[in-house]
């Protein structure tokens, strides 16, 4: 099997490692020729997991390469999905398998609409992961935990897993209905990420003051209301308990949103809290705390206001 990976961030690189370990060919599609030159000069991807270190040998290319794409993993930031896919669209085989593995919601439907008309035989999956990884530099990846990955079909097709994924040596769960899993990840991201930006703190510090705890609880109650009205059951326990447990267990982490903002990048606020607020509007539900966070983050991050 030959998998192409769009998005050479931490998750894209982590999957390059997982897939090459099963003996599959992997091509990382880099943004442009200057990223390609940088990678070529700096050798293979190095993966550090605990005390172990190994090299991952994958092919490198840019979107304008000519090799047809039969198996594609999209691990870009959620807001880049359509633009990144447009750049490789002409290379997609008519029956290509595509997996979207990203934070946030809203992009899945857009991809489905865009691609299905042109290639009705495409097979599309959405996946969500709790794996933890970060890039020390472009080619040095630290894998903190393999987490759990859930995957489910967005198009009407069999089989349950994309080709070769049954060989992945990671906790991987095939789901008939991926929507509740995407919502669960979204709910946790709504409860933690914007608050870490608002208070400029690590995940665990959200549990350190009464003000932060109360704000997290209010966010959670609003998210739960919207999810319930959308027909989604989140967790067996209240979201505020689950979110507090995740903030605690990832206490030392900087959330992905805070990392983006500190590094002067656009954040995924629109695909996280923005999506939640859109759903709330459609369902006629007031979500004042989430709304305020959405506006506060747009206002504090020029990269988010420019869009
Ligand atoms: O997924 C995360 C993120 O940072 O995006 C959480 C769960 C908040 C862990 O840091």
For residue 229, CA distances in Å to 18, 224, 241, 272 come to 37, 8, 20, 17
Q: How confident is the model at residue 43 (pLDDT cuts 50, 70, 90)?
A: confident
The set of residues, in sequence order, having a beta carbon less than 8 Å from that of 59 and lying 6+ positions away, is 25, 26, 27, 28
Is 133 close to ligand 1, i.e. is its CB under 6 Å away? no
Q: What tokens were used for 208?
A: 């350190």
With contact defined as beta carbons under 8 Å apart, do 189 and 272 qualify? Answer: yes
The pTM assigned to this predicted structure is: 0.94
Closest residue by Cα to atom 4, ligand 1, is 255
**Average pLDDT over the chain, rounded to whole?**
95
Ligand 1 centroid from CA 185, angstroms: 9
Give percent of the chain with pLDDT exceeding 70: 99
**Is omega for the bond preceding 159 within 30 degrees of 0, making it cis?**
yes
Helix, strand counts (H, E) of the chain: 11, 12
Ligand 1 centroid from CA 110, angstroms: 24
Q: In this model, does residue 307 exceed pLDDT 80?
A: no
Q: What tokens were used for 73?
A: 């993993």
Q: How confident is the model at residue 157 (pLDDT cuts 50, 70, 90)?
A: confident
Closest ligand 1 atom to 192 CA: 8
d(CA 215, CA 51): 38
pLDDT tens for each residue of 90-120 = 999 999 999 999 999 999 999 999 988 888 8
Is 216 close to ligand 1, i.e. is its CB under 6 Å away? no
pLDDT tens for each residue of 158-203 = 788 999 999 999 999 999 999 999 999 999 999 999 999 999 999 9
- Per the DSSP assignment, residues forming a β-bridge with 173 are 150
């Amino acid at each position: 099997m030959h998998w192409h990976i769009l998005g050479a961030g931490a998750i894209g690189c982590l999957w390059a490692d997982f897939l090459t370990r099963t003996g599959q060919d992997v091509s990382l599609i880099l943004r442009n020729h200057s990223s390609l030159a940088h990678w070529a000069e700096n050798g293979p991807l190095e993966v550090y997991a605990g005390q172990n270190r190994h090299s991952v040998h994958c092919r490198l290319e840019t979107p304008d390469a000519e090799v047809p794409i039969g198996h594609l993993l999209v691990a870009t930031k959620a807001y880049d999905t359509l633009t990144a896919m447009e750049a490789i669209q002409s290379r997609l085989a008519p029956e290509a398998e595509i997996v979207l593995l990203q934070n946030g919601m809203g992009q899945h439907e857009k991809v489905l609409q865009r691609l299905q008309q042109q290639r009705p035989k495409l097979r599309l999956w959405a996946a969500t992961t709790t794996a933890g990884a970060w890039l020390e530099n472009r080619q040095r990846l630290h894998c903190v935990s393999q987490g759990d990955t859930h995957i489910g079909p967005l198009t009407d097709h069999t089989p349950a897993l994309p080709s070769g994924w049954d060989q992945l040596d990671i906790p991987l769960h095939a789901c008939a209905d991926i929507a509740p899993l995407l919502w669960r990840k979204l709910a946790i991201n709504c409860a933690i990420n914007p608050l870490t930006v608002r208070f400029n703190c690590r995940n665990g510090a959200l549990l350190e003051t009464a003000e932060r705890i109360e704000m997290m609880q209010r966010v959670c109650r609003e998210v739960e209301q919207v999810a319930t009205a959308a027909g989604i059951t989140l967790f067996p326990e209240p979201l505020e308990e689950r979110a507090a447990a995740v903030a605690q267990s990832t206490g030392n982490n900087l959330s992905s949103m805070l990392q983006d903002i500190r590094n002067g990048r656009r954040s995924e606020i629109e695909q996280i809290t923005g999506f939640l607020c859109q759903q709330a509007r459609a369902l006629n539900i007031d979500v004042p705390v989430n709304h305020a966070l959405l506006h506060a983050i747009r206002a504090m991050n020029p990269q988010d206001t420019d869009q």
